[in-house]
Structure 1
Amino acid sequence: MSQRSPENILLRLPKEEEEAVRAIYAALAERGFPQQHQRPHVSITFAPTMDTRVVGEAAELLPGLLPEALRRAGVVIFGTKSKQTVTWLLEAPDELERAARRLSAMNPDGRGERWVPHLTMGLRLPKAIVPDYVAALGEVTSPHFTEITAERAVFYQPRLGTEFAF
């Protein structure tokens, strides 16, 4: 059976911020790094098939907390094998953090009451290029790009190609 992308409850950025992140992806590709194709977002929780109770709770909790600014707090690298993912670590306001942790804890396929807010800047990169990628990311990112905006929350079902805004 082929692996498919999981269903997600995630936060979307405003169009202008999505475009700014895509411009960073393009600048990195111009330097010879792998092209990034993912749409910029911040995942709250995901599962092969999202439990409807989690979707319902997200619809109750998230709309009243958004839009909200998430502050860039550093770079985090996920993965220990031959492919790694480079991300911007984000700091969220307390209420949004509590809501995200609650949703993660409710998700039977989740990882308990955990949430590491981040925005993927380099997905599944060969481990050998990660140090150079991180250095280049710092060079092509404006020092004034210190926050991203979680504009809205959505339930994304990639298998169906649908996205439901809360």
Structure 2
Amino acid sequence: MSPENILLRLPDAEEQAVRDIYADLAARGFPQQHQRPHISVTFAPTMHRRAIARATDLLPPLLPVALRRSGVAVFGTKSKQTVAWLLEAPEALERAARAVSVANPDGRGERWIPHLTMGLRLPKAVVPDYIAALQEVTSPHFKEITAQRAAFYQPGLGTELEL
């Protein structure tokens, strides 16, 4: 089952631009991406109330905010890997996200790697070609991602609460 998330949502136009990139990559024969574009702050099988409360207090006053695309990362070491755009966040958002993450007992402590997943669960063998194709289909003018709003997402219940 997918974990519960505290995440940052994109404006509709940017979300659609990312979905269009997913579609362009699928048209080139890569696995279709079904995830809704977002920036994760922290996740857990069941999100602790303390983390939700910290997110509610800290994140909304900082939004909307632009995060700059700063590179590509590959997460995972097994047969399936994830390709993501690395994002540089303003310091205030970085501090807030770390505070939310540390309030999540199942989280990664006071760490946060801001990123937007562009290819989820890709076979390891296609990752280099996927990254090359991602660069080809992405406009060089698409340099920033806007974190428009914060949300608490419970995929098991199909619910999302704006914070």
TM-score scaled by structure 1? Answer: 0.97
Q: Matched residue of 1:101: which SS?
A: helix
Q: Which residue of 2 aligns with 1:65?
A: 62
Counting only pairs closer than 5 Å after superposition, residues 17-166 of structure 1 correspond to structure 2 as 17-166=14-163
Alignment root-mean-square deviation, CA: 0.4
- Corresponding position of 1:5: 2
Measured in 2, the distance between the counterparts of 1:100 and 1:81 equals 28
Name stretches of at least 5 consecutive residues in structure 1 with no aligned partner.
none
Q: Percent identity?
A: 75
In the aligned structure 2, how far is the partner of 1:26 from the partner of 1:59? 33
Shift of 1:61: 0.5
Which runs of no fewer than 5 residues in structure 2 stay unpaired? none
| SS in structure 1 of the partner of residue 129 of structure 2 | helix
Deviation sequence 1:26-67 (CA, Å, 0-9, x none): 000010000000000000000000000110111111110000
Distance 1:83 1:54 in 2: 29
Give the Cα separation in 2 of the matches to 1:102 and 1:5: 23
Distance apart, 1:158 and its partner CA: 0.5
Report the 3-state secondary structure (helix = DSSP H, G, I; strand = E; otherwise coil) of the residue aligned with 1:143.
Answer: coil
Per the normalisation by structure 2, the TM-score is: 0.99
Stretches of 4+ moved more than 2 A in 1? none
Q: Aligned partner of 1:90: which letter?
A: L
Q: Deviations over 1:107-166 (max 9, x none)?
A: 100111000000000000000000000000000000000001000000000111110001
> Letter of the aligned partner of 2:138 in structure 1?
T
Aligned residues: 163
